[in-house]
Amino acid sequence: MDRFDYENAIPLAEGIYWVGFYDEKSSLHCNPYLLIDGDEAALIDSGTIPHFPIVMRKVIDLVELGQVSYLIAQHQDPDVCGNIAVVEDLLENPALKIVAHGHTVRLIRHYGTHSEYYPVEENDYRLTLKSGRVLRFIFTPYLHSPGAIATFDEATGTLFSSDLFGGLSRNWSLKARPGYIEAMEAFHRIYMPSNKVLRPTIERLEKLPITRILPQHGSVIEGDDVKVAMAHLKELACGVDLNKELVGGERW
């Protein structure tokens, strides 16, 4: 086991922290992240209702609540942003914006949010913070949601990949260890629709100067392992590739 203090926020890059919950009994970990830039902060994929107290305690340890200017929801699943309305109410920031693709906004409204939305496709798929730091949003449709996005922090080369590059394993650690490819493969075989959908997005991501990948599930991938993970996923059969007999059939 890595020597991390999972009870507290863990720094991963300049201004970037893991603020999640380590659940020893779960095979599917959720990883919210906080990006701090001067007097602004963005909470990325804030997580679940059960994890809300732990996530927010870690956020409060790092910043004043008024600093959180953005809630980035990379897709709408309850494990990704089920607590978003509760987080929003706690922040009490009238200038708060919820950043998401329009296809996601249409769905997360049903969580009871009330802040202004920042639809990424209407803003050139980027957000420029006060300091000039740029967050680029990569549209990753149907991986595994119509409005799925990933977020690329140009300043650190960090890709917040949401479900992409996620892993499924009871032997979890924050940083990827030998064997993580198998955990990643298990997750993508179940939750991604097909290689035909997956491969073009991976090929687009390969063109970015990514130094680390921070998935919403699974473990952080860094250094040479970034290219290894991309190469593996680019060739991976998943979803209906493995269940072609079910498509259009009674079992489907």
For residue range 161-177, list pLDDT tens digits in order.
999 999 987 788 899 98
How many C-beta atoms surround the C-beta of residue 147 within 10 A? 24
Which one-letter DSSP state was computed for residue 246? Answer: G
pLDDT tens sequence across 42-86 = 999 998 888 899 999 999 999 999 999 999 999 998 888 889 999
d(CA 41, CA 39): 7
Output the pLDDT for position 51. 85
Go through the domains of the chain in sequence order and give each one's CATH number.
Answer: 10-246 (3.60.15.10)
DSSP secondary structure string for all residues of 34-51: EEEETTEEEEES---TTT
pLDDT tens sequence across 118-136 = 999 999 999 999 999 999 9
Percent of the chain scoring above 70 in pLDDT:
94
Q: What is the pTM of this model?
A: 0.93
